[in-house]
Amino acid sequence: MLIVLKSEIQHILVTAVDPSGEDFLQLDEAILVAAKILENEKVLICSQANGARIETYVRKATSGDGTCCISGPATKLMTKGDRIGIMTFAQWGTNDSRSGYPVIINAGKGIR
């Protein structure tokens, strides 16, 4: 089995933070669908401001509202207005078809 990149959202803008909230990332449902990321899926978040990397899970926000909200302890590393990268990974056998993957979205070119 190989662990390979499944989805990546590049340069997305953090629109809100909730330091007192549970530890998760909330994303616009339309972005999740476009990136083929499932609600509650584990994600790796990378800060473009300071290089910090954290693992958490994702929850969906209202479709079309542009939400990218970081909640909980991760707000000590990333703040509103930062650009981040979001990645998911999958395990595939060496002979499995990975047609259509990875899905890469550059949010700096159109999506907030």
Angle at 67 between CA 81 and CA 31, to 5 degrees: 115
Rounded Cα distance between 25 and 86, Å, is 10
Give the pTM: 0.90
Average of per-residue pLDDT across 37-62: 97
Mean pLDDT estimate for the chain? 92
Q: Are 37 and 85 contacting, i.e. CB atoms less than 8 angstroms apart?
A: no
Taking only the tens place, the pLDDT of each residue in 30-43 is 999 999 999 999 99
Question: 2-13 and 103-106 as β-strands: parallel, antiparallel, unpaired?
Answer: parallel
Rounded Cα distance between 25 and 67, Å, is 10
- Tell me what pLDDT residue 112 has: 43
Question: 83-92 and 68-71 as β-strands: parallel, antiparallel, unpaired?
Answer: unpaired
Helix (H) or strand (E) holding 77: none
Average of per-residue pLDDT across 60-73: 95
Q: Domain boundaries in the chain?
A: 2-92
- Domain with residues 2-92, CATH architecture: Beta Barrel (2.40)
Rounded Cα distance between 43 and 57, Å, is 5
